Structure 1
Amino acid sequence: MKPSEIVSALELLLEVRQPVFLWGAPGVGKSQVVAQVAAEHGMELVDIRAVLLDPVDLRGIPRIDDAGNAVWCPPSFLPRSGRGILFLDELNTAPPLVQAACYQLILDRKLGEYELPEDWTIVAAGNRESDRAVTHRMPSALANRMIHLDFDPDLDDWLAWAERTGVEPKLRAFLRFRPKLLHAFDPKKSEKAFPSPRSWEFASRIIAADRPARITHALLKGAVGEAAAAECIGFLKIYDELPDAEAMLADPGGVRIPDDPAVIYAMCESVAREASDETMSSLAVLAARMPVEFSVLLMRDAAAVEPSIVETEAFQGWARANHEVLVS
């Protein structure tokens, strides 16, 4: 399931307080989506890294009560009130005894004397065994206590998130051009760095820092791997050599439309960020001169930047001219 579908599934499962396990390759954004859902619904998030726990940590330590009985004192990180998500991240990375300690908590919402508050839901996540990450096989008794969802990265979902969070526009344009590089993890290779939604977020910060090209290249190589870094650096050079966006919009009928798809992707990203009711006429002229797939891309991005442009006469004229493409 792509991230937006995972979000919808989590919202339903939170309503019925059904435990769920998210399976996905390293770096696809599992924990980030859980945090997003919690924030959007005003829920508290308690993030527990199961791999850091000992088997006794969840149950707590015993004390002697006034009657001389041993009573377990659960740890302070377990919630006592409110509404939220208890997130057991990297659960299948934890040793089998730690996973066993989660049995009762996940199924019965209890652990010794501790009881999970009514408005809390358990969500767990981990890497797949096929990813060759450090994992322990999940016991069937634990697996049967949860709904299992496969988490797959999706470019459109990532781009929407990247737009909201201010990921470097140059990088968004590059991944539109090379969508297969959003997540290119091969468990058979021993590379330490590889492209993933998480590592591209790192790359965005590196690019935005605007250091010398040699330093930027080295850092990108360390974030996303040598091959992806080389392609990204090549694209950034193209992007930086484009005319200024304001200059292109000042002469939309005269600016040269390049033949190289990489350059057109870069051009679309650059001018779309200038979208407004005032620039819409120029955007429409420029879009009309582009190949139809790039024309649609430009207008879609422009509308995402400034939704009001869809009400302008220039946008509606462009939409009428491209009606067959838009409804297909």
Structure 2
Amino acid sequence: MNPQSAKRAISHLVERKVPIFLWGPPGIGKSSIVKQIANESDVEYIDLRLSLLDPTDLRGIPFFDAKNDKAIWAPASFLPEDKGSKGILFLDELNTAAPMVQASAYQLILDRKIGEYELPEGWAIVAAGNRESDRGVVFRMAAPLANRFVHLDMEVSLPDWQEWAKASDIDQSIIAFSSYRPDALFSFSAQNDSKAFATPRTWEYVNEIIKSEPEDDLLMDLIKGAIGEELAASFLGFRSVASSLPNIDDILSGESNKVPEETAALHILCTSLTMRINDETRAAELDNLLRYTLNLPGEFAVMIVQDLRQRDIGLDYIKSWPLWIKQFNSLMK
């Protein structure tokens, strides 16, 4: 489910006070979406990081009521108290919380009360967490707790992110780079031990780094610390030649034959073009791409075609393929 679809689905369920669990890899904006819904609905929003809490933090602390000769529970001060209030209680990192904390949350989710505390009627509960495959420390939820939620799986969506980025004043070079390198928006892999990797969250960090206007000798180290060395080098290389790069959509639609002169720009362009092609690319776009490569230096045209053939992208049936073979066959290995 892309972020916009997830947002619409959550909005419907929040209105009906149906508990929701939003699953997704780290850094893709799960908490941001829930906060947006609260802001747009003009209701309160409380974000609880359950992995940082002890069971007593949710349940409260017992103390002795001498007047009535009994123990009572003092509810947590961070939970909403106004009976007439409306809002979203966001339980983030629920499945990374210790089992005893999950057990405390279970009562709050199931019965909308815990100890002496009762959640006001106008509040909805949304929880979120990373998947077990995302290399995080997670605890499997008990079946009764899992069964209390409607589960939604959210994935990264480049068009959704670009739309958000444009409205959020994200640096134009970052948005343009995401079009040239769609894979760069989210590079997390459970098999990769790198401390820094690209997510929508870390690209926001890159935006803040750029706007802080650091000295040139610091820029690479700062950006590398946010998204990793390979992407940092690629992004900074892109920024240095961005003004000379043609629009990829114009190339694939056959509206541009502009070829950059710098070798670095050609490398970035060829990489970006091949990454825009997949099994769903239309024959007309492939034909426009092949026709465009006829204007490139031979080694770059061959680089593009070899990459496509390695990924089993069929080219033999494309109209301009015989013309391409006639021009560049001698360079093919």
TM range (shorter): 0.7 to 0.9
Further displaced range: 204-213 or 159-168: 204-213
Q: Which residue of 1 aligns with 2:186?
A: 183
State whether residues 87 and 122 of structure 2, in contact with CA within 8 Å, keep that contact through their aligned partners in structure 1: yes
Aligned residues: 256
Q: Which residue of 1 aligns with 2:308?
A: none
| Residues 1:75 and 2:76 aligned together | yes
| Residues 1:20 and 2:14 aligned together | no
Q: Which residue of 2 aligns with 1:108?
A: 111
TM-score (norm 1): 0.73
Report deviation, 1:207: 2.2
User: Per the alignment, in what secondary structure is the counterpart of residue 75 of structure 1?
Assistant: coil
State whether residues 238 and 263 of structure 1, in contact with CA within 8 Å, keep that contact through their aligned partners in structure 2: no
| Residues 1:225 and 2:225 aligned together | no
| Residues 1:7 and 2:10 aligned together | no
What per-residue deviation string (whole Å, max 9, x for no partner) do you get for residues 149-202 of structure 1? 111010111011111110000110000111111111111111000011001111
Q: Which residue of 2 aligns with 1:298?
A: none
Q: Which residue of 2 aligns with 1:250?
A: none
State whether residues 180 and 269 of structure 2, in contact with CA within 8 Å, keep that contact through their aligned partners in structure 1: no
Give me the whole-angstrom Cα distance separating, in 1, the residues matched to 2:122 and 2:198. Answer: 37
State whether residues 239 and 263 of structure 1, in contact with CA within 8 Å, keep that contact through their aligned partners in structure 2: no
Report deviation, 1:211: 3.0
Point out where structure 1 has 5 or more consecutive residues left out of the alignment. 243-254, 267-290, 293-328
Give me the whole-angstrom Cα distance separating, in 1, the residues matched to 2:267 and 2:244. Answer: 15
Give me the whole-angstrom Cα distance separating, in 2, the residues matched to 1:261 and 1:173. Answer: 16
The one-letter amino acid paired with 1:171 is I
Report deviation, 1:240: 5.4
Q: Which residue of 1 aligns with 2:142?
A: 139
Q: Which residue of 2 aligns with 1:40?
A: 40
What per-residue deviation string (whole Å, max 9, x for no partner) do you get for residues 44-86 of structure 1? 1111110111111111112333221221111111101211011
Q: Which residue of 2 aligns with 1:237?
A: 240
Give me the whole-angstrom Cα distance separating, in 1, the residues matched to 2:267 and 2:167. Answer: 25
State whether residues 60 and 115 of structure 2, in contact with CA within 8 Å, keep that contact through their aligned partners in structure 1: no
Give me the whole-angstrom Cα distance separating, in 1, the residues matched to 2:5 and 2:165. Answer: 17
User: Per the alignment, in what secondary structure is the counterpart of residue 33 of structure 2?
Assistant: helix
Over 3 Å counting, the alpha-carbon distance change for 1:229 and 1:64 in structure 2 is same
Report deviation, 1:213: 3.5
In structure 1, which of residues 146, 149, 152 is the aligned counterpart of residue 152 of structure 2?
A: 149
Point out where structure 2 has 5 or more consecutive residues left out of the alignment. 246-255, 261-265, 273-287, 290-333
Q: Which residue of 1 aligns with 2:305?
A: none
State whether residues 89 and 126 of structure 1, in contact with CA within 8 Å, keep that contact through their aligned partners in structure 2: yes
Give me the whole-angstrom Cα distance separating, in 2, the residues matched to 1:210 and 1:57. Answer: 41
Q: Sequence identity of aligned pairs in percent?
A: 48
Report deviation, 1:262: 5.6
State whether residues 49 and 88 of structure 1, in contact with CA within 8 Å, keep that contact through their aligned partners in structure 2: yes
Give me the whole-angstrom Cα distance separating, in 2, the residues matched to 1:119 and 1:18. Answer: 12
User: Per the alignment, in what secondary structure is the counterpart of residue 156 of structure 2?
Assistant: coil
Report deviation, 1:241: 6.1
| Root mean square deviation of aligned Cα | 2.3
Give me the whole-angstrom Cα distance separating, in 2, the residues matched to 1:54 and 1:184. Answer: 33
User: Per the alignment, in what secondary structure is the counterpart of residue 162 of structure 1?
Assistant: helix
Over 3 Å counting, the alpha-carbon distance change for 1:24 and 1:256 in structure 2 is closer
Report deviation, 1:15: 1.1
State whether residues 92 and 127 of structure 1, in contact with CA within 8 Å, keep that contact through their aligned partners in structure 2: yes
Over 3 Å counting, the alpha-carbon distance change for 1:211 and 1:57 in structure 2 is closer
User: Per the alignment, in what secondary structure is the counterpart of residue 211 of structure 2?
Assistant: helix
User: Per the alignment, in what secondary structure is the counterpart of residue 215 of structure 1?
Assistant: helix
Give me the whole-angstrom Cα distance separating, in 2, the residues matched to 1:91 and 1:98. Answer: 9
What per-residue deviation string (whole Å, max 9, x for no partner) do you get for residues 218-253 of structure 1? 1111110111111101100112568xxxxxxxxxxx
The one-letter amino acid paired with 1:69 is K
The one-letter amino acid paired with 2:54 is D
Q: Which residue of 1 aligns with 2:201?
A: 198
Give me the whole-angstrom Cα distance separating, in 2, the residues matched to 1:203 and 1:125. Answer: 25
Give me the whole-angstrom Cα distance separating, in 1, the residues matched to 2:22 and 2:168. Answer: 23
What per-residue deviation string (whole Å, max 9, x for no partner) do you get for residues 112-137 of structure 1? 22111011011111111101112111
User: Per the alignment, in what secondary structure is the counterpart of residue 204 of structure 2?
Assistant: helix
